[in-house]
Amino acid sequence: MAMVNNKVVWITGASSGIGEGLAYELATKNCKLILSARNQEALKMVKSKCNTEVIILPFDLADYDNAKNHVEKAIAAFGRIDMLINNGGISQRSLLAETDFSVDKKLIEVDYLGVVALTKALLPHFLKNKSGHFVTITSLMGKFGSPYRSGYCGAKHALHGFFDVLRMEHQKDGVDVTLICPGFIQTNVAKNALTADGSKQNTDDNATQNGMPVAVFAKKFVKAVESKKFEAYIGGKEVMGVYLKRFFPKFLHYFVLRSTVR
């Protein structure tokens, strides 16, 4: 088992939710942290609660044309990076036929292209060091679909294809890839989700409110990463959807259609 202790870890989407929870958990492992998100003030608040060395590097994932600059600054912070946690992203809550194409574009730019650009910009550093771990937080929606999440599901499915190939091509170079697929976790993901016109939903849902606490998720996350799992599904009974999709896809289709999840 490869321990995360004392690693230099870069977390995107670290200003709240899962990213914030991971920062606190990894701080207890004496990791040196680089925290990124758009909200600098929120990042400062997270930093103040971490009893470890923390560097703040604010930027927008949609600014993927400047990914190389962000990577250079991140490497300069501690001289190296051992792990990149691709956590930043946005969700969606709108019917496909009602959703403006600009929303689909935004979801791809942030959830897929921003992640890919940052990963490709950091890859040469991992290859040079002959070690490094890309940990990408996708979603159970990267394994099966659900209404009101068409663009989000598309972006998350795309991440699985990209990172599976990255692993195949560079595992021999000492580069590890882990895909973490959360189910319902108690975060603001639903409140911040984009609606049909691109505005935020600004309301929560019962499934998210009653989901797994972030602190519990963070501990399960660390175990999966230390085990260097290819994929890990973390959540409640919704995780069964992965296996239903594989073995009973029609059953899953009708089950999801009858559910009240939005």
Collapsing DSSP states into helix, strand and coil, what is residue 201?
Answer: coil
CB 236 within 8 A of CB 209: no
Give yes or no: 112 in active site.
no
Options 64, 148, 152, 233, the catalytic residue: 152
Collapsing DSSP states into helix, strand and coil, what is residue 144?
Answer: coil
- C-alpha–C-alpha distance, residues 68 and 207, integer Å: 38
Q: Kindly state the tokens that stand for 201.
A: 């939903």
Q: Identify the CA nearest to 137 among candidates 71, 66, 231, 201.
A: 231
In the chain, the amino acid numbered 96 is: L
Neighbours of 257 (CB within 10 A): 9
- C-alpha–C-alpha distance, residues 237 and 161, integer Å: 25
Residues annotated as catalytic are 152
